[in-house]
Structure formats: structure tokens, C-alpha cells
Amino acid sequence: MLGSKNLGSMNRDLFVVGNWKMYKTAREAAAYLEELLPMVEGARPKIMLAVPYTSISSAAKAAKGTEVWIGAQNMSDAKEGAFTGEIAALMLKEAGASFVLLGHSERRHTFGETNELIHRKVIRALQDDLLPILCIGETASLREAGHAEQVLREQLKKGLEGVPEESQFFVAYEPVWAIGTGKTATPKMAQDAHAFCRDCLEEIFGKKKAAQVPLLYGGSVKSDNVAELVKQKDIDGVLVGGASLEPTHFAAIVNHCKKEKS
Ligand code: 13P
């Protein structure tokens, strides 16, 4: 299978995941990887790139034989069928994707995806052997109203309902107010939210599994704030939007991402 990699056991480590959103054609994706790869050779964090559907194949080909994993940003909850314009997990896999972002805030807020739909997508990704990264996060108004924890618990409980304990998945906490705004959560705010998410995972799966799930932080991550974020006890990596679009910026984030815990 083109560029597909066995993700093996994906317990907590250190991950830098880029989310290109709706940027970069197939040709631009190949050129990006050609520029990025020499700059991150031997880097400590595992590197993952969530790219547009039409760029998966060329990105996977360019990343073949490296430790960079290519993934998608969304998918259908159905295995196949008469769903015009949708894309199935198996199609993404065959193109070279090994993981998929699900429930990104732009999917929830711009495209109206509900916890129920996202849950069905999580189950479908697991069944079809794509690693799901479940994205969760509260809006500014819900945080100000004191409802952030309630929202996070609900997104986690509904998103992961019925997921077998032995499944491999990641959770990405991306406060909506920090996405694309330049307003990063402080390391303490991010750690508090991550610790809360880990407590919720413990309620769902028990202590052992909760301690193993990689939790990523996303929202205006840059090379000058990544180190402080990943120093936090419950932060196992970052999900990067805007700053992942330039190979030099993304490489700087990868190379500043060090796991010295505070
Ligand atoms: P920014 O890094 O541009 O804030 O985007 C974050 C994000 O949405 C990653 O999924």
C-alpha cells in the first residue's frame, strides 16, 4: 500500500502533528516534503501531517521510507455507499493515510458536525484501521460561562462511547478561541485542561488506559511556545495549523519540541 505505515503501539510519546487544512495541492505537498525532510532528520518527536485528500497520495509517496506519517482531516462515517462527495476510510488508507483527524472545531462549527456523527466516524476509523485523532475544545463563550469542563467531558464521552479499551486513538484538545487567533492557552491552562481530559478518560476507560492515551494541544502553536507546552505533564505533543504550512516554521516547531517535564 502506497506509503502506508503500521503505526504499531501508539502509547504516549511526543508527537508533532501538522494540519494543513485546505491548503496545498498534490504538487505543493511533494515539494513541501522534499524541503521538510532534511530539516527534521533524526528529530525526537514523531511527525504526522494531516493533508487534503488529493494530496495524500503524493505526500505519502514523498514520505515513503521516512518516519513521517500522512493522514486525512476528515472522512465519512459510512463504509461505502451512495453518499455523493463523501470519502471512505478505506479510500484514505489505500491512498497512503494512516490516521485521520475527527471532530476538528472547523468541522463542528462550520459544517455542523455533532458529537453523534463524530462518534460514528471514530468507530468507522477504528474498524477500517485508521488511527483516529479525536479533536475536542470549548468556545470562548462557553469557557467564560464556566462550562468548559462540561463541554470537554461530553465531547469525550460521546465521541468515545463503546470504543474498546485496546483501541489506539489520540485526543487533541484545541480550545476554539485559540485556533488561528494567535491566542495560545498558557501552559498552565493547557495542562489543567489536559489533566481534566485525562480524568475523563479514566472515567470512561479506567486508570491504565487513561495513562496511555496521547493528548495533544492545538491552538496557535509556534516554535517559541511549543517547548513550554510539551513540558507539561499531560501534554504529549501538539497539533499545528497555520505554522505547519511553511516547512521552515514546521521544522522549527519539531526541533523545539523537547520532552523535559517540569
Ligand atoms: P492554528 O495553529 O492555526 O491556530 O490552528 C490550530 C488547528 O486548528 C490545528 O488543527
Residue 1: pLDDT band (50, 70, 90) is: very low
Q: Could you give the CA distance from residue 262 to residue 205 in angstroms, rounded to a whole number?
A: 27
> Does residue 4 form part of some domain?
no
> Does residue 5 form part of some domain?
no
CATH number at residue 98: 3.20.20.70
Q: Would you tell me how many other CB atoms lie within 10 Å of the CB of residue 123? A: 19
Q: Would you tell me how many other CB atoms lie within 10 Å of the CB of residue 146? A: 8
Q: Kindly list the protein residues whose Cβ atom lies closer than 6 A to any atom of ligand 1.
A: 19, 104, 174, 179-180, 218-221, 239-243
Packing angle of the helix pair 26-39, 247-256 (nearest 10 deg): 40
Separation of 100 CA from ligand 1 center, angstroms? 15
Burial 74-94 (b: 16+ CB within 10 A, else e): bbbbeeeeeeeeebbbbbbbe
Q: What is the pLDDT of residue 213?
A: 97
Separation of 245 CA from ligand 1 center, angstroms? 11
Structural domain total, the chain: 1
Separation of 82 CA from ligand 1 center, angstroms? 32
What is the percentage of the chain residues whose pLDDT exceeds 70? 95
Question: Cell 511553511 maps to which residue?
Answer: 246
- pTM listed for this prediction: 0.95
| C-alpha distance from residue 173 to each of 80, 182, 190, 236, 250 (Å) | 30, 16, 8, 11, 19
Pairing label, strands 46-50, 170-173:
unpaired
> Does residue 262 form part of some domain?
no
Helix, strand, coil percentages for the chain (3-state, nearest 5): 45, 15, 45
Quick: pLDDT tens for 123-164: 999 999 999 999 999 999 999 999 999 999 999 999 999 999
Q: 84: which residues sit within 8 A by CB, 6+ positions away?
A: none
Residue 9: pLDDT band (50, 70, 90) is: low
Quick: pLDDT tens for 37-89: 999 999 999 999 999 999 999 999 999 999 999 999 999 999 999 999 999 99
Residue 104 bears catalytic tag: yes
Q: What is the mean pLDDT of residues 106-112?
A: 97
> Does residue 232 form part of some domain?
yes
Active-site hit among 106, 113, 138, 174: 174
Average predicted confidence (pLDDT) for the chain: 94
More confident residue, 17 or 8: 17
Active-site hit among 67, 104, 106, 144: 104
> Does residue 208 form part of some domain?
yes
Asked which of 2-16, 60-74, 189-203 is least confident by mean pLDDT, the reply is 2-16
Q: What is the pLDDT of residue 2?
A: 32
The pLDDT of residue 262 is above 90: no
Instruction: Give the domain extent around 214.
Output: 15-256
> Does residue 51 form part of some domain?
yes
Separation of 106 CA from ligand 1 center, angstroms? 10
Residue 11: pLDDT band (50, 70, 90) is: confident
Q: Could you give the CA distance from residue 60 to residue 88 in angstroms, rounded to a whole number?
A: 17
DSSP 185: P
What are the grid coordinates assigned to 19, written together? 494540519
> Does residue 39 form part of some domain?
yes
> Does residue 217 form part of some domain?
yes
Question: Cell 462549527 maps to which residue?
Answer: 109
The pLDDT of residue 33 is above 50: yes
Among the atoms of ligand 1, which is closest to the Cα of residue 243?
2
